[in-house]
């Protein structure tokens, strides 16, 4: 019995972007998330984790679901921007 191959997350290709690590680090810093929470943000960015599963409970806990979602949204926004090209004449 062969098990079917698991398909990659819908946005897994984003992790191959050369800017990914620096953008991720910037977003984590912006939302005051420690480095060890990076994998949770990566799963949100790639679509492996459904963002609708994270809900803020309004108890003031840190990190909050809003922090994870905000960091993931920042990464997606930054990676969707066009890269600036510099031409040296």
pLDDT digits (tens, 9 = 90+) for 28-75: 999 999 999 999 999 999 999 999 999 999 999 999 999 999 999 999
Q: Return left, alpha or beta for 47; rule: phi > 0 is left, psi -120 to 50 is alpha, else beta.
A: left
pTM of the shown model? 0.84
Quick count: other Cβ atoms within 10 Å of Cβ 69? Answer: 17
Look at residue 3 in the predicted model and tell me its pLDDT. 66
Residue 1 has pLDDT above 60, yes or no: no
- Please report the pLDDT score of residue 71 as a whole number: 97
């Amino acid at each position: 019995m062969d098990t079917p191959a698991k398909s990659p997350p819908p946005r897994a290709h984003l992790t191959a972007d050369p800017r990914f690590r620096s953008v991720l680090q910037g977003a984590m810093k912006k939302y005051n998330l420690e480095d060890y929470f990076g994998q949770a943000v990566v799963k949100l960015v790639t679509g492996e984790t459904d963002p609708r599963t994270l809900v803020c409970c309004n108890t003031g806990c840190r990190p909050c679901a809003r922090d994870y979602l905000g960091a993931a949204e920042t990464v997606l926004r930054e990676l969707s921007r066009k890269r600036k090209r510099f031409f040296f004449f």
